[in-house]
Amino acid sequence: MKGTLVLAAWEVRRAVRTRWVLGGGIAFAAGASAVALLGLESARELGLSGAGPASAGLIGFAMLLAPLLGLLLGASSIAGARERGILGMILVQPLATRSVVGGFFLGALGALWLIILVGLGAAGVIFGAVADASDVGALIAIAASTLAVAAASVAIGVAISCMTEGQSQAAGWAVTIWFLMALGVDLALAGLGPSIHLGPSALLVVILLNPIETVRVLALLASDAQGIQLGPFGAYLDARFGDQGAAVVMLGALAIWVWVPLALAWWRLERRKDRA
Amino acid sequence: MPEYETTTALLEVHGLTKSFGRKTVLQGLSFSLQPGEIMCVGGANASGKSTLLRCLAGLSDFRGSARMEGKDLPDGKDIRRSIGYLPQGIQLDEPLTVREILRFFARLRGVDPHPDHMPDGFLPPLDAPLSVLSGGQRQRVAIALALLGTPRLLLLDEPIANLDDVGVGLTWQALRTVIDQGGAALVTSPRSDDLEGIAQRVLILGDGSLQEIGTFPAGQLSTALPTAALGTQRASS
């Protein structure tokens, strides 16, 4: 465990010093602030008060940018170390392969969480001016959901990192997978949904197969226990799993989305004929 | 029985074979390394020198066996704690200072980060960022990382490639300090005469197999490998 933490701390420091955290934090803060301001302005024009009505846009923004940054950070972790030649020196240290994978994962995740906290912190300051007590839960849910989707996307990125040969190849796969998860599934559902008459149970499967959608539903459930914002699908979740059950299912799926890619990364690095 | 097959060997390699697809890079290598010994691994470019070290370091799979003090390489944390490895051409373009990268690897190894076996002047200033160092200075830092914790077996892949004469001298001094504590080293070099006066024996690779194991001194080892002048043992015999 000590080796994992040493490696993780080194990865965080590396991300800070290479200005990944600064650049990502500025981009996230600028985007989140713009979304917050635009959302509040729109809500005000519609005569709505509080931060809640404007926060939906922030969920959408966070669910786009956080997974992209997570996939890229994860994908560049081990592949980058291999390309710089330092992975070999790390792998010959007295560390288990799972500690190496865990260290790179936690380091990239730590860096991304810093970026997210900077970005959402900026949006939080803007929302803070108009938020009332009932908004606090929703805003915390957005933050928690973003941190959660970051964990899944970094884990997938680390798996990509172990399965590709170079950093640019890993980045290419990361962007492709981000597109499929963030946009591709939505586009496919929009195009095919009506013709294939996707029922709620099939929709649930599609959602669980996509960590971004899983977290998006989780965020909406957390900010709206009755699932009203989810419409008929929310009613289906409530009827099938109950109030808490749906959240547990989503959290379970998310945990799988973290552990399976990490297990895959460990397996690939362990079995790789040429590890570095 | 040849000298290198004694039972007190620190490292024993038998039938080590490594292939990339259908291409066999190393074919049935067998040799041993005694405590206190430095062996030069020579041979032309692409003769498999780096691959041999990567196999022994656990970075590439191979067929055959490699045992360090009776234990299979590279299994087990204890064995890996006893191995120092320097890859060829490492860049070390990490956004860290010399002190920080020494501390990082020392923590991973669980050893003291203070490079007390380094000769004076070997390392650049400890607070210097790696990014401002020359290639030779970074190479010295990389060598120091491999020597951290005084490992028993050193696998150094072209350690003096970027070094000036002073750096080469200091590197051999540092290496000797570690070896004198009971360790042994395999050191690759495309020009075997670089290690004359440092290595006791030289192992020459060519066409994927062990061409010969010979003893220094020999300025003649670099390319022509005149067997008669070296008192060599043919590996195949």
Angle between helices A231-271 and A211-223 (to 10 degrees): 140
In total, how many domains does chain B have?
A: 1
If you search the block for the tokens 């005149």, which residue do you land on? B226
> Using CA atoms, how far apart are residues B55 and B29, in angstroms rounded to an integer?
12
Contacts of A19 in chain B (CB under 8 A): none
Scanning B43-82 for CB atoms below 8 A from A yields 54, 57-61, 74, 77-78, 80-81
Predicted confidence band of residue A101 (pLDDT cuts 50, 70, 90): very high
pLDDT of A170 higher than 90: yes
Q: Quick one: CA dihedral A19, A22, A25, A29, positive or negative?
A: negative
The pLDDT mean for chain B works out to 81
A6–B108 CB contact, under 8 Å: yes
| pLDDT at residue number A247 | 83
The pLDDT mean for chain A works out to 85
Distance from CA of A215 to the nearest CA of B (A): 34
Q: Pick from A7, A12, A21, A92 the residue to mutate for testing the B interface (most B CBs within 10 Å).
A: A92
Report, as an integer, the average pLDDT of B48-57: 92
| pLDDT at residue number A216 | 84
Q: Does B96 touch chain A (CB under 8 A)?
A: yes
B80–A2 CB contact, under 8 Å: no
Cβ-contact A48, A39 below 8 angstroms: no
Model confidence pLDDT, tens digit, residues B62-73: 899 999 888 888
Residue B24 lies in a domain: yes
pLDDT of A111 higher than 90: yes
Residue B122 lies in a domain: no
pLDDT of B188 higher than 80: yes
pLDDT of B47 higher than 50: yes
Predicted confidence band of residue B216 (pLDDT cuts 50, 70, 90): low
| pLDDT at residue number B226 | 37
> Using CA atoms, how far apart are residues B111 and A194, in angstroms rounded to an integer?
63
pLDDT of A160 higher than 90: yes
Report, as an integer, the average pLDDT of B145-158: 92
| pLDDT at residue number A244 | 80
Q: Does B95 touch chain A (CB under 8 A)?
A: yes
Return the residue of B nearest to A97 by Cα.
Answer: B77
pLDDT of B227 higher than 60: no
Pick the residue with more confidence: B59 or A237?
Answer: B59
| pLDDT at residue number B77 | 67
Cβ-contact B59, A88 below 8 angstroms: yes
| pLDDT at residue number B76 | 64
CATH code of the domain in which B208 resides: 3.40.50.300
pLDDT of B4 higher than 60: no
Burial B114-150 (b: 16+ CB within 10 A, else e): ebebbeeebbbebeeebeebeebbbbbbbbbbbbbbb
Strand order in the sheet with B209-215: B83-86, B153-157, B184-188, B38-43, B201-206, B209-215, B233-234
Reply yes or no: is the peptide bond before residue B129 cis, omega within 30 of 0. no
Domain ranges, ordered by start, for chain A: 2-180+261-271
Q: Which of A49-53, A189-193, B101-105 has the highest mean pLDDT?
A: B101-105
Predicted confidence band of residue A158 (pLDDT cuts 50, 70, 90): very high
pLDDT of A6 higher than 70: yes
CB-nearest to B77 from A86, A88, A94 is A94
| pLDDT at residue number B61 | 87
| pLDDT at residue number A53 | 65
H or E stretch including A235?
Answer: helix A231-271
Find the range with the poorest average confidence among A166-170, A224-228, A269-273, B56-60.
Answer: A224-228
If you search the block for the tokens 């087990």, which residue do you land on? B76
Does the predicted TM-score (pTM) go above 0.95? no
Model confidence pLDDT, tens digit, residues A15-24: 999 888 999 9
Model confidence pLDDT, tens digit, residues B163-173: 888 888 889 98
| pLDDT at residue number B106 | 93
If you search the block for the tokens 């990865």, which residue do you land on? A11
Report, as an integer, the average pLDDT of B217-235: 42
Size of interface A-B (CB pairs under 8 A): 82
| pLDDT at residue number A188 | 75
If you search the block for the tokens 């803070």, which residue do you land on? A128
**3-state class (DSSP) for residue A24:** helix
Report, as an integer, the average pLDDT of B190-211: 79
> Using CA atoms, how far apart are residues A164 and A31, in angstroms rounded to an integer?
31
Model confidence pLDDT, tens digit, residues B97-137: 999 999 999 999 988 887 667 888 889 999 999 999 998 99
Tokens of A49: 């008060």
Residue B147 lies in a domain: no
Model confidence pLDDT, tens digit, residues A113-144: 999 999 888 888 887 777 677 777 777 888 89
Predicted confidence band of residue A211 (pLDDT cuts 50, 70, 90): very high
**Which of A96, A77, A74 has the alpha carbon at shortest distance from A270?**
A96
Cβ-contact A18, A167 below 8 angstroms: no
Residue B211 lies in a domain: yes
Domain that holds residue B198: 3-89+153-234
Pick the residue with more confidence: A76 or A232?
Answer: A76
Pick the residue with more confidence: B107 or B212?
Answer: B107
Find the range with the poorest average confidence among A44-58, A64-78, B124-138, B199-213.
Answer: A44-58
Count, residues in chain A? 276
DSSP β-bridge partners for residue B188: B41, B157
Distances (CA, A) of B130 to B97, B115, B141: 5, 17, 9
If you search the block for the tokens 């846009």, which residue do you land on? A57
A137, burial (CB in 10 Å: exposed 0-12, middle 13-18, buried 19+) = middle
> Using CA atoms, how far apart are residues A68 and B123, in angstroms rounded to an integer?
40
Q: What is the DSSP string of A101-152?
A: HHHHHHHHHHHHHHHHHHHHHHHHHHHHTT--HHHHHHHHHHHHHHHHHHHH
Contacts of A17 in chain B (CB under 8 A): 95-96
Residue B185 lies in a domain: yes
Phi-psi region of B210 (alpha: psi -120 to 50; beta: other; left: phi over 0): beta
Side-chain-facing half-sphere of A256: CA atoms under 13 Å:
11
Report, as an integer, the average pLDDT of B7-31: 87
pLDDT of A255 higher than 90: yes
| pLDDT at residue number B229 | 35
CB atoms within 10 A of CB A113: 19
Predicted confidence band of residue A11 (pLDDT cuts 50, 70, 90): very high
